[in-house]
Amino acid sequence: MESLRFFNPRATIDIHRRNLPHWQQTGVPVFVTWRLADSIPETLLRPWLEQRADWLTTHPRPWSGEHEAEYARRFTADIQHWLDAVTAPAC
């Protein structure tokens, strides 16, 4: 049986992008991170949902590239930042 190989940052990495980046390396196992409903505290999530709903009301789809970028900057970046803060390892 072939020995288990782990991600090597110096080896070739195939990066594909759709909604999220997907990194692949030949012969390296894949892992998935699952987020549960309570991954973000409600004190952060509730105002975010309200602001997002207001923004979506005034910016119906289809979006221009500018609106897509604004949505990502205003809403997607916040969620990713909060998730990273919650799952960051303690130093």
Confirm if 82 and 35 have CB atoms less than 8 A apart.
Answer: no
Predicted local distance difference test score (pLDDT) of residue 79: 87
pTM: 0.58
Predicted local distance difference test score (pLDDT) of residue 1: 44
Mean pLDDT over each residue of the chain, to the nearest integer: 83
Q: Where in 1-91 does DSSP place strands (E)?
A: 14-17, 21-24
**What is the pLDDT averaged over residues 66-71?**
94
Q: In whole angstroms, give the CA distance from residue 84 to residue 91.
A: 14
Max mean pLDDT among 19-23, 74-78, 79-83 falls in: 74-78
List residues bridging with 22 in a β-sheet. Answer: 16
Has residue 60 got a pLDDT over 90? yes
**What is the pLDDT averaged over residues 14-21?**
74
Q: 3 vs 6, 27, 28, 29, CA distance in Å?
A: 10, 10, 11, 12
